[in-house]
Structure 1
Amino acid sequence: MPCTRCFRAGSGMSCRMAADSNRCERCIRDKKQCDGVAVASSLSRVLQTQRELEKDEDAAEEEIFALQEEMNRLQQNLGLSLARLRRIRTLKRNAESRGKELFQRGMIELDREDGILPALDAHELELTSELVSMEVPPDLD
């Protein structure tokens, strides 16, 4: 692999490491530092990092899919719960209206009975006065 200097100079194809050195022939000739060996190890580290990131990406993707499935399940449960709540509220409204109707009917019946009571009281009073005029004792059943 060419060193950074050879790569930038465009002579990457001619970059060759010297036999008894860690530097390429051009860097030795120009008396410059050479990173040819370091580039190869850096590339190896970069490739390893990329593989690890791909594994992390796959794991994150799997987690997203699992969360999406759970969210779909929760949304379905939410829909069922909302439908149940609507049904309960409808039944509650129907029960309340039936209760109001029964109460009104009961009040009408009581009013009707209240109209009968004064007539019964008047009739009782009339009977009592007739019994008194006939001299029947008041404690007689």
Structure 2
Amino acid sequence: MCNGSSARTSEGGVIVVLKDLTAVPTRPLLQRELSMRLVDDEALGKTTAWIDGIDNQAVDSLIIHRDGDLRSMPTDSASILRRIALPKSLKAGMPFVLQSRLSLGVGGDGIIGRRVSLLAGHVVLGDGIAGFN
């Protein structure tokens, strides 16, 4: 990837691959991989996002954590940098605009290297680390 050996073309923006990190009876197992892409929309001054793999799952929020530690509890309020409400009519691969712009960089308020959690109510569907796409 970083060494130039990948045949995949960079799309720009940020990508987060979301995995179910714990298999316990209270959390549904993901049937397929979830991923989220984020890009800056310069014209709107906001961030546009797409989530793939949600197939009729009722997702309602996204948490961006202060760190990139996948071992910590995803709903620990001390680790939350931002909590973002998602549109009710969300469909897989359908672009939507976030209510406010995210910093898609490293450091400061940037989300690169931070843990991201996708939630349905209080149930975490998947966790991942934000990286350059």
TM-score tier by shorter-chain length is under 0.3
Q: When you count helix as a share of all residues, which structure comes out higher?
A: 1
Report which structure shows greater RCO (CA 8 Å, sep ≥6): 2
User: TM-score, with normalisation over the residues of structure 2?
Assistant: 0.19
TM-score, length-scaled by structure 1: 0.18
Task: State the structure with more CA Rg.
Answer: 1
User: If each structure's strand is expressed as a fraction of its own residues, which one has the higher value?
Assistant: 2
